[in-house]
Chain A
Amino acid sequence: MDMIFNIGKSGRKGVTIPAHDIPSVLNIQEKLLRKKKPELPECSELQVIRHFTLLSRKNIGVDSTFYPLGSCTMKYNPKMNEVVAAMPEFSELHPLLPQLRHGGALTQGALAVIYETERLLSEILGFAQFTMQPLAGAHGELTGVMMIAAYHADKNDKKRKIMLIPDSAHGTNPASAAMAGFITKTIKSSNDGGIDINELKTNLNENLAGLMITCPNTLGLFDPKIKEACQLVHDAGGIVYGDGANLNALVGIIKPAELGIDVMHVNLHKTFSTPHGSGGPGSGPVGVVEKLVPYLPISRVVKRDDGTYALEYNYPKSIGYIAPFYGNFAVILRAYAYLLSIGKEGLRRISAFSILNANYIRQKLKAFYHLPYDKTCMHECVFSAEKFLERGIHAVDIAKALIDKGYHPPTICFPLIVKEAIMIEPTETEDKETLDKFINAMIDIWKTINENPDKIKECPLTTPVSRVDETSAARKPITSI
């Protein structure tokens, strides 16, 4: 295998660096000098480009193929957003500039982008205020639960340490709650996959800090009991955290705050079209209702009466600094551009068409794949491959077979409450022909499972490598050369 470290030749150079226009000096104590130069690649510029271009071709992205990865909202990433993010007027701006004396005047455009995006999100979700600082979804979760901790501490209610989390939740929920010092307690889902109100009631006491819920839930279903659950938690003195991973089903239809959610993160890299970047950078802004506003992180961007924007720090109850500056600004910029282009009319269409696409797939495939919760879904539908186990086929085998059909597979084995789950989220940006072809591919795979399951076990055959041995990788990890 050709690694970047072994394709060059000693002494070969890549990009040219400016020549010295001042005397070259090394004014550093001998004992602090490195004895050997770091062993970095020695390639020509073309070799570097060719290497990474070849690598990119061993990948698939939304631009290459349908990517119905449930819970991840792999919608189209508009190219306009990339143009905006690369504008030197924004990309060359140093984040410490507005912290200099009178520095706010130097960055009015950038501060406006942050402020206006905050206002747009607050309106869409129904919250009093947003912070744009969290650097990813899980980082937003941590910010949100830290604000819950600060709220209870401020009320001198220090016993409130229990965070309730449904068994269907994303794994980041309990991990974030634990990092904020909470003791997590799992509550079982009811038979319809929603919140079990009776089980919730048994946990309502003076130790309750809050409830973390996902709406729609991880089955892609809207839980009609959500309002009641929020009310019960409020009555018991708790705070409701909303995981915004599935917001693509709600924008323009309902404001999450009106359901009773007090604090919620949104993933700009899901609902608001910013690219996933092979696993980041993301952005996870957090919205709050009025009673949690004092605890928002600092700094905050404010708009003064004269129409100018400024940074403010004087919020004594704030949880403090969760990010070095103002969030993943270039990601916020992309989401702002997207929101401007979507506009008022477009927001509802995002959710309406993501719901239409998901239900179309659900209806067309349910004769072939088991649907454990057969209800009208929102933006995604969850099938189960459990019935194929007797033929030796797992959800993972179906995923690998889909790769050979030219698709990125759906999310598998999540949510944990569905055995051998296959979670399909088509998003609103996919056309009907693409969905029909995908449905046919799924039906083809179903036929092969019934006729010749061994063939499925061999997949994928069309990829640069065949099935990967993950077990031995973990036993004796080799993580660098």
Chain B
Amino acid sequence: MPYIPHNKEEIEEMLVACGASDLDDLIKQTGVPQANINLNIPPSKSEFEVLEHLKRLGSLNSNNLTYFLGGGYYDHIIPAVVNSVISRSEFYTAYTPYQPEASQGTLQALFEYQSAICRITGMDVSNASLYDGGTALFEAMTMSVRISSRKEVIISKTVSPIFREMIRCYSSNLELSIIEINETEDTKSDINKIIENISENTASVIVQYPNFFGTIEDFSELCEAAKRKGAIPICSVYPICLALLKTPGEMGFDIVTGEGQSLGLPLSFGGPYLGFMAVKEKYMRKMPGRIVGLTKDSKGRDCFTLTLQTREQHIRRENAMSNICSNETLCAIAAIAYLSVLGKEGFVKTAELCHSKAVFLSNLLSEIEGVSITNKDNFFNEFTLKLPCDASEVVSKMIDKGYAAGFPLGRYYPQRKDELLIAVTEKRKREQLKSYVAALEACIWT
């Protein structure tokens, strides 16, 4: 029997200590009406057999595609160090660090993670992680409602449609009014329209950077306009671009969230990922999620502990800032290991490679007849390509040639059926970029 160590004599001895004649008798004493049920479950497999079975299932996936598919989730290099760190069983088999004396390792790693998030985003205080980028953005939105006591939220349609659908779902019982503002034709946030809509009822204004189409924009003016009317500017951000781009902190955002998958986590078919959140200091006590703080032990030595726990559900119950209990600690540890081993230079170089390669690819693609870049000269590593035909058909043909060619925008933006969202990471080589262009041209024109 896997994972249960008891031998016959021990079972006997323990049953005697418990005053039961056998295991069924013991279970009966607990008051459970049944002691055994007949389950339609396959018999136990050995470790070898389980691995064989899963290898077979794994082989049913398409594993040789070259990715130009992003949409907020990217195929980046993961240095070996990352897995080495999170494979330390002292990290991955531990529980939440509620006993700080026995958990200084997790606590310090999270404190360093929080520090790195603040340094990247230009914000003051980071929490110790949330589930993913979408739930983090929703938590930011409800935080703005709590702070402002207002019930209206403005969200640009340039924000990930995946996140917007999640926000719509979570808000259905909360009596909030969510105003979505269409993007401009050239894939920018319609800042003028957003500003026009801000009123004394607006709790927050939500945008994304770079936006879902890959477009980069300066939101400084928007942040100022929102704050003038007492609304909280919120930004969801792709962390890799912040190696090069102006930080949301500098632009004036009060709350910044994002999907941290790019910071050393595999794509893993949708998770686990990492939601991050950082805020300006004045909102620290309104932030959901765990926060690690520096303090002293009884001998006056520096140490770490979970702090501001009165915000959490253990104490506040129905009045808690959020219901979150488990978060994504191990993913946050992966992120700080990733950022540490890339380091200051490596992080910037990774971003430069992503950007340069995306520009290189976009220039080559521009030469294809009938094709144009919708957000030309205005993107980081993902851009929108307008095709002379249906994008999802082209993507389908490209799969046969071995490419996950991008994300057809028609799925979420019906008027953009002929547009394709293309992502480039540092993993793509010059030759791959060139052959991608040739393959795409062939798919469009033959």
Contact = CB atoms under 8 A, between A and B. Distances in A.
A67 B95 contact: yes
B94 A49 contact: no
B62 A463 contact: no
Contact of A136 (B80, B324, B355): B324
Interface in B296-340: 296-299, 301-310, 312-320, 322-331, 333, 336-337, 339-340
A94 B108 contact: no
B329 A277 contact: yes
B414 interface: no
A470 interface: yes
Nearest to A184: B318
A124 B42 CA distance: 12
Nearest to B243: A38
Nearest to B23: A352
Contacts of A124: 39, 41
Contact of A175 (B92, B308, B318, B331): B318
Give the residue among A13, A18, A172 with the most B Cβ atoms within 10 A. A172
A87 B350 CA distance: 25
Contacts of B96: 276, 278-280
A330 interface: yes
B362 to A, nearest CB: 9
Interface string A20-59: 1111111111011110011111110100110111011111
A28 B60 contact: no
Contact of A349 (B1, B307, B312): B1
Contact of A40 (B85, B216, B322, B339): B339
A84 B48 CA distance: 11
A211 to B, nearest CB: 15
Interface residues of A, number: 206
A50 B327 CA distance: 26
B168 interface: yes
Contacts of B71: 96
Contacts of B115: 3, 5, 480-481
Interface in A118-138: 120, 123-124, 135-138
B230 interface: no
Contact of B81 (A45, A92, A252): A45
A376 B353 CA distance: 63
B303 A479 contact: no
A346 interface: yes
B247 interface: yes
Interface in A334-354: 336-337, 339-353
A316 interface: no
A480 B118 CA distance: 8
B270 A33 contact: no
A475 B43 CA distance: 56
A111 B396 CA distance: 19
Contacts of A48: 81, 85, 337, 340-341
Nearest to A354: B4
Nearest to B11: A356
B6 to A, nearest CB: 6
A97 B60 CA distance: 14
A431 interface: yes
A99 interface: yes
Given A15-B346, A467-B101, A356 B26 contact: yes
A252 B105 contact: no
A61 interface: yes
B61 A107 contact: yes
Contacts of B378: 29
B413 interface: no
B386 interface: no
B87 interface: yes
A369 interface: no
B343 A42 contact: yes
A60 B90 contact: yes
Interface string A351-365: 111011101100110
Nearest to B295: A473
Interface in B347-369: 347-350, 352-353, 355-357, 359-360
Contacts of B270: 95, 323-329
A409 to B, nearest CB: 6
Nearest to B3: A429
B45 A123 contact: no
A392 interface: no
Contacts of B319: 178
A116 to B, nearest CB: 9
Contacts of A60: 90, 94, 102-103
A150 B329 CA distance: 32
A304 interface: no
A414 B63 CA distance: 47
B61 A109 contact: yes
A76 B20 CA distance: 26
Given A26-B355, A269-B326, A107 B131 contact: no
Contacts of B377: 27
Contacts of A469: 295-298, 305
A2 to B, nearest CB: 9
Nearest to B132: A324
Nearest to B54: A84
B169 A321 contact: yes
Contacts of B31: 221-224, 375-376
A403 interface: yes
A276 B93 contact: yes
B109 interface: yes
Interface string A273-316: 10111111110000000000000010000000000000000000
Interface string B45-64: 11101110111111111110
A441 to B, nearest CB: 15
Give the residue among B51, B169, B272, B411 with the most A Cβ atoms within 10 A. B272
Contact of B323 (A123, A175, A273): A175
Nearest to A134: B131
B192 interface: no
Interface in B255-272: 259, 266-272
A142 B323 contact: yes
A100 B343 contact: no
A388 interface: no
A322 B131 CA distance: 11
A329 B268 contact: yes
Interface string B388-422: 00001101100100001001100100000000000
Contacts of B349: 17
Contacts of B58: 87, 89-90, 109
Given A101-B395, A353-B6, A23 B340 contact: no
A89 B324 contact: no
Interface in A75-114: 75-78, 80, 82-97, 99-103, 105-110, 112-113
Contacts of A347: 39, 41
B263 to A, nearest CB: 11
Nearest to A97: B404
22 contacts: A26-B355, A27-B355, A43-B341, A48-B81, A61-B92, A87-B55, A92-B267, A100-B396, A120-B41, A171-B316, A223-B31, A253-B37, A279-B290, A341-B47, A348-B37, A360-B18, A375-B31, A408-B99, A463-B102, A464-B104, A469-B305, A473-B295
Given A138-B326, A330-B271, 19 more contacts: A11-B345, A15-B81, A17-B342, A64-B93, A97-B69, A146-B169, A171-B314, A175-B320, A222-B30, A253-B36, A275-B330, A320-B166, A323-B166, A324-B72, A325-B271, A336-B54, A429-B4, A479-B125, A480-B125
Closest 4 CB pairs of A and B: A89-B58, A343-B44, A325-B270, A181-B173
